[in-house]
Every structure is written in C-alpha cells, then in structure tokens.
Amino acid sequence: MKYILFIALPALLLVSLAFTYVRHADKPKSIADDDQPRKVVKTDAEWKKLLTPDQYAILREHGTERAFSSPLNDIHQHGTFYCAGCHNPLFSSDTKFDSGTGWPSFYAPIAKNSVIEKKDKSYGMVRTEILCSVCSGHLGHVFDDGPKPTGLRYCMNGVAMTFEKK
Ligand SMILES: [Zn+2]
C-alpha cells in the first residue's frame, strides 16, 4: 500500500503540473494584461516600406496631421482604434468624444499599458507625448482638459490609427 502511494502521489503531482502548463500555454496573448507587452522594432527603411508616407511622417517622424483631415475624427460607431504601425489596440470607441479640435479625441486608452507617455518640449511648449507601447510610434498628445471621468484628452492623429467596427 505504501509503495502505491509513493508512485501515485508524484504521478498526480506531475499530471496537475502538466495541466497547469497547458492552460497557460493555451491562453491567448493579450497586450492589455501582459506585464511586458510585445515589442515591434524595425529600421526606418522597413517602416517606410510598411507605412504610407502620411503614416510614416506622423508615427516615425512625430508629425501632426491637419485638423479635420482624418475620417477617423467623425467615426461614432462601436469598435476599436488600433495603431497603424503594429495593430496594438489603443482606444475603444466607448471613450471617444467630440472635442471640437478636429483630431480624434478620447478620455482614456483601452488599457493602461497600451500607450506610453513622454515629456515633449518641442515648439517651446511642455506637452506630454503619447506613443504606442509596442512600436513606439508617435500617436499624439494628452492634455488635462478632457471630460469626466478622467479629465484627460488624448488628442490623436487619425492617420496613426486604424478603426475596426465591433
Ligand atoms: Zn504601434
């Protein structure tokens, strides 16, 4: 009897360990709940091939599109806004609001770590730049004159994003 226990207990342990491993391996990779999000790193030449000239100018050269120039500004359907460079989900339509600025505006990113913030001191202003957390592409800026519940206004370039309906 003792002998059976000696065999059975380690065997049970191994089986449960194996199941735990399989469960974790099966879990789809989500950027939102990942502590260390995936990173996309490309050379300038690779980005140039992948992006349109407008997307490249904004995402990789920190440009700004003309106000009211992006069709994404007028989108009010349910869906998700993704990074045009790496398809990282950035904003939900649930947090989109009409800021009147001519740029797609949101009061919060879709997940805390979907974007990263960086101090931007260009053009004699101190602003907070918003970058994609996966490919470090420039998306826009965040200001503290947004609506409730966050009071933030993520002022984004529509060219830097794509939209997919829910
Ligand atoms: Zn990206």
Q: How far apart are CA 102 and CA 39, in angstroms?
A: 30
* Residue 145 Cα to ligand 1 middle (Å): 25
Please name the residue that has the structure tokens 């830097």: 160
Residue 38, pLDDT > 60, answer yes
pLDDT at 11: 57
Domain ranges of the chain: 44-165
Contact 160, 72 (CB under 8 A): no
* Residue 86 Cα to ligand 1 middle (Å): 4
- CATH 2.170.150.20 holds for 44-165: yes
The single-letter code of the amino acid at 81 is F
Name the band, by pLDDT with cuts 50, 70 and 90, for residue 27: very low
Share of the chain above pLDDT 70, in %: 78
pLDDT in tens, 65-99: 999 999 999 999 999 999 999 999 999 999 999 99
Instruction: Tell me which residue of 96, 97, 93 sits closest to 80, measured CA to CA.
Output: 93
* Residue 83 Cα to ligand 1 middle (Å): 5
- Residues designated as active site: 155
Question: Which 8-state DSSP code applies to residue 78?
Answer: S
Q: How far apart are CA 12 and CA 17, in angstroms?
A: 9
